[in-house]
Amino acid sequence: MNMTLTPTTAHQIRNVAIIAHVDHGKTTLVDKMMLQSGQYRNEDLAKLAGGQHGLILDSNDLERERGITILSKNCAVRYTSTSGDSYRVNLIDTPGHADFGGEVERVLGMASGTLLLVDAYEGPMPQTRFVLEKSLLHGLRPIVVVNKVDRPDSRPQEVVNEVFDLLVEMDAPEEFLDFPVVFASAREGWATLDLNEPSDSLRPLFETIIEHVPPPEVGLEDGPLRMQVTSLDYSDYVGRIAIGRVREGTIKRRQRVLVFDRQGNSAERQVGQLLGFDGLDRKEVESVAAGDLCAITGLEPIEIGDTISDLTCTDPLPAVPIDEPTLHMTFRVNDGPFSGREGKFLTSRQLGERLDKELRSNVALRVGPGPSQEQFCVSGRGLMHLGILIENMRREGFELCVGKPEVILRDIDGVRSEPIEQLVVDCPERCQNAVMALLGDRRANLTKMTHRESSGFVHLEFTIPARSLMGLKNRMLNATQGEAIMHHTFLGYEPIRGATPSRPVGVLIANESGMATAYSLDALYDRGEFFIRPGDQVYEGQVIGEHCRVGDLVVNVVRGKKLTNVRAAGKDDNSQVRPVRAMSLETCLEYIEEDELVEVTPSMVRLRKMMLIEADRRRAARQANG
């Protein structure tokens, strides 16, 4: 067992968080930094990355399938500078989607500096502003890395000026405005301080980190132990593993410590294993001093935000501030006719236990009681934030129904207010009018417009109510022939802007249970567009398509062709099977109305009416109309 990690002195440690907008290349850069540190060979990285994906820090299935980072992760690389000194750089990879901003907020406390990645063409985007604002609150000075400078349409100098303007707009400290700039191509694995001086490695980036990211304060090593848990891992052998940065003092293996929870209650426990980071591995060490990152076992029960301190300490560290959720939806047990056919976890008790488990690590999530004992009100940062949770539960064997997502309203100074988001749209100039018309109906206000002549695109920035984003993506792609690029992030709360258009058409609803037939679907194709294929099992009350007109239409899709000895048998199977609309989980969540649910099982995602029987729906409609 390796009981030492080199180097161990504080001035040889650099803690760096890598922050950026989605798809600007954070995880790709971390992989290349690990490769060029000499700790891994190409074959090792490919094996760890799981084959074709190539990004080892995107470790779970959903991250690899979607090509995004969902969970913050950290690793350590060794680097020998040009002066011959050896350093350990602790790298913290963060998500780029606004919906996972809670992951960014809770891990920035481990860093002493940040690498702010910006795409050489796109420049600062909505999430760039969000993550930069959070890092400034922690007093972290950014190193600006202009990535993808090898793109043919890159505009690196303009992007640097835009980052400067953004910092000025955000009232950054004056010393932060003189930020170091590194130009890089993370995919090709090189960086340079001057575009006229080409490079073949990331050494200029490493040297900039060593020079501009401050080492941990050495004087804190002599004080009483204090550290805060910013991440959790789990092992079947040792249970929960607490991860964080030692703020003061030194923590030792087998040491007796106090653990303060968020309410300030303390309990005495003993450190089990003490693990330091080396590459992707964790190695057992005897002690970890202030400024370094470590992982600790044996402290259960332990939660994110808890403080681990010396037995003589009475003051826990302040809790990590997390922005409040902006969206909520109702989770409930699956009470449909097909309940229990596929899932292993069906009851409200199992659903509640799973949500409680998620709360332990998902700090941006909130769970409260619903209208009944079988329902839970789950709040999160956005549709993708909650969609990822539902997708993980589905893969674990849960069956559940989910209601329409709704924004969380607040009363601010006696005024009813709603969440407002910043929306950025890049689209071809010929589609500009269609985009403006689409967003104008949704109460969006245009704040900035720039033409990018090199690509023929126009860059539009709006403020828009969060509720108006529901179902916007598909309509935006239709309006721009699939060429628009759209990003958004939370800005704040403003007075409610007024009504926005709901779904313009009704839905097709099955009136019988059974197997959908090609014959019946073919006879109904002029009524709208279907979500199901011939051979799919349907039940009464299931939403099986979109009506071509306003209002819902109840149809029979299980009717078969009556066979007689009069017709020729060859004409019975000439039904036309047309393409269906593929509906992903998040698309379904955006699509449904208040009287509908999304039914989620391990292998299927269905849409259904809340009341399955047509007579019940009619009776409820009469009562609602008085």
Domain that holds residue 431: 410-495
Residue 545 lies in a domain: no
CATH number of the domain bearing residue 262: 2.40.30.10
pLDDT-derived band of residue 472, with 50, 70 and 90 as boundaries? confident
Residue 561 is assigned to a ligand binding site: no
Domain membership flag for residue 540? no
Give the pLDDT mean for 204-228: 80
Report the domain count for the chain: 3
User: Domain with 52 in it: what CATH number?
Assistant: 3.40.50.300
Look at 180 and 281; give whichever has higher pLDDT.
180
Cα–Cα distance, 33 to 206 (Å, whole number)? 8
The confidence score (pLDDT) of residue 539 equals: 92
Q: CA nearest 304: which of 252, 343, 262?
A: 262
Question: 309, 327, 344 — which closes off a domain?
Answer: 309
227 and 189 in a common domain:
no
**Which pLDDT score, from 0 to 100, does residue 7 have?**
47
Residue 150 is labelled as binding a ligand: yes
For position 499, what pLDDT does the model report?
83
The closest of 359, 364, 361, 378 to 325, measured between CA atoms, is 364
Secondary structure class of 589 (helix, strand, coil): helix
Q: Same domain for 31 and 179?
A: yes
Q: Contact, 403 vs 379, CB < 8 A?
A: no
Instruction: Quickly count: other Cβ atoms within 10 Å of residue 51's Cβ.
Output: 8
477 vs 461: CA distance, rounded Å: 17
Nearest 5 degrees, angle CA 332-CA 344-CA 301? 80
What is the rounded distance in angstroms from the CA atom of residue 557 to the CA atom of residue 388? Answer: 32
Q: Is 554 within a domain?
A: no
Q: Is 459 annotated as a binding residue?
A: no
CA dist., res. 264 & res. 23, Å (int): 39
Cα angle 134, 136, 138 (rounded to 5 degrees) comes to 75
State the residue for tokens 């991860």. 243
Same domain, 207 and 226: no
| Same domain, yes or no: 128 and 262 | no
160 is in an annotated binding site: no
Is residue 554 a known part of a binding site? no
Average pLDDT, the chain: 82
Q: Report the percent of the chain where pLDDT is more than 90.
A: 14
**143 shares its domain with 230:** no
Collapsing DSSP to helix, strand or coil, 304 comes out as coil
> In this structure, what is the dihedral angle of CA atoms 143, 144, 148, 153, given to the nearest 10 degrees?
-170
Is residue 469 one of the residues assigned to a domain?
A: yes
Q: Taking residues 9-25, what's their average pLDDT?
A: 79
The pLDDT-based confidence of 52 (bands split at 50, 70, 90) is very low
Q: Is the model more confident about 416 or about 575?
A: 416
Report residue 554's pLDDT band, with 50, 70 and 90 as the boundaries.
very high
The secondary structure of residue 39, as a DSSP letter, is S
Q: Considering the entire predicted model, what is its pTM?
A: 0.77
What are the C-alpha distances in Å from 10 to residues 23, 199, 228, 584?
33, 30, 18, 49
**Would the annotation count 28 as a binding residue?**
yes
**Known binder of ligand: residue 42?**
no
Mean pLDDT computed over 17-41 = 76
The answer to whether residues 597 and 403 touch, using CB atoms and an 8 Å cutoff, is yes
E strands, 253-313, where? 256-260, 266-270, 274-278, 281-284, 287-289, 293-297, 307-309
Q: For residue 25, say whether it is annotated as part of any ligand binding site.
A: yes
Q: Which of 309, 341, 370 is the last residue of a domain?
A: 309
Q: What is the pLDDT of residues 278-307, one digit of tens each?
A: 777 788 888 888 888 888 988 888 887 888
Q: Are residues 148 and 237 in the same domain?
A: no
Task: Looking at the structure, tell me whether residues 90 and 150 fall in a common domain.
Answer: yes
**Spatial distance between the Cα atoms of 304 and 74, rounded to a whole number of angstroms:** 16
pLDDT at residue 71 in the model: 63
- Is 2 a domain residue? no
What is the structure's pLDDT at 40? Answer: 57
Q: What is the dihedral of CA 8, 11, 15, 16, to 10 degrees?
A: -140
Q: Sorting pLDDT into bands at 50, 70 and 90, what band is 540?
A: very high
Are 151 and 242 found together in one domain?
Answer: no
Is residue 102 domain-shared with residue 203, that is, in the same domain? yes
Whether pLDDT at 272 is above 50: yes
C-alpha–C-alpha distance, residues 459 and 429, integer Å: 9
Given pLDDT bands bounded at 50, 70 and 90, which one contains residue 1?
very low
Of 445, 468, 495, which marks where a domain is finished? 495
| Same domain? 226 vs 165 | no
pLDDT of residue 402: 93
Q: Which residue has the higher pLDDT, 566 or 75?
A: 75
How high is the pLDDT of residue 62? 59
Report if residue 335 sits inside a domain: no
Residue 352 lies in a domain: no
CATH at residue 444: 3.30.70.240
Among 391, 455, 560, 409, which Cα is nearest to 123's?
A: 455
Q: Is the domain of 165 the same as that of 250?
A: no
Count of Cβ atoms closer than 10 Å to residue 570 Cβ: 7
- pLDDT value of residue 63: 54
The verdict on 24 and 138 lying in the same domain is yes
At 399, is the pLDDT very low, low, confident or very high (cuts 50, 70, 90)? Answer: very high
- What's the pLDDT at 398? 92
pLDDT at 121 over 70: yes
The mean pLDDT of 554-571, rounded to a whole number, is 72
Q: Is 571's pLDDT higher than 70?
A: no
**Within a domain: residue 584?**
no
Mean pLDDT in residue range 453-468: 84
pLDDT band at 181 (very low <50, low <70, confident <90, very high): very high
Mean pLDDT score, 227-234: 81
